[in-house]
Structure 1
Amino acid sequence: MSEPSEFKTLSERIDVLETRLTFQDETIETLNQTITAQWKQIDALTRQIAALNERVQEAEAQAPAPSNERPPHY
């Protein structure tokens, strides 16, 4: 039995939509993986900046106070 042309067109349209949906699903999954990797990297960099900031603050607290003496070359 052959399908009427309307159904064939509808069937083709459904096939095209299914193909597009599959492609979109793959794209969404790829983007999700990319975003997840970026958030992990952002989190690691944020922790690293916090640690460096803490080290700078400790170094500033331990540094001797600046003196008002003239440098020796004067």
Structure 2
Amino acid sequence: MDFFNSAVSSLSTVVVAIGAGVGVWGIINLMEGYGGDNPASKSQGVKQLMAGGGVILLGLRVVPLLSGLFS
């Protein structure tokens, strides 16, 4: 059972890291859109930023619930 709990902890860390990467990519696109006055790039940046935040929340709230799945 310790292996499963450590795997869930590692999975949570990986999901949060992926969400943070998407969020940072969104911030970069957002700043690029403001720099070039490109509304499409601004829109894409906001979408990526919000999606990254959602993935981080999943990694922090939903993935740890998997550890109680078999107990």
TM-score by length of 1: 0.47
Which structure is higher in helix share? 2
Higher RCO (Cα < 8 Å, 6 or more apart): 2
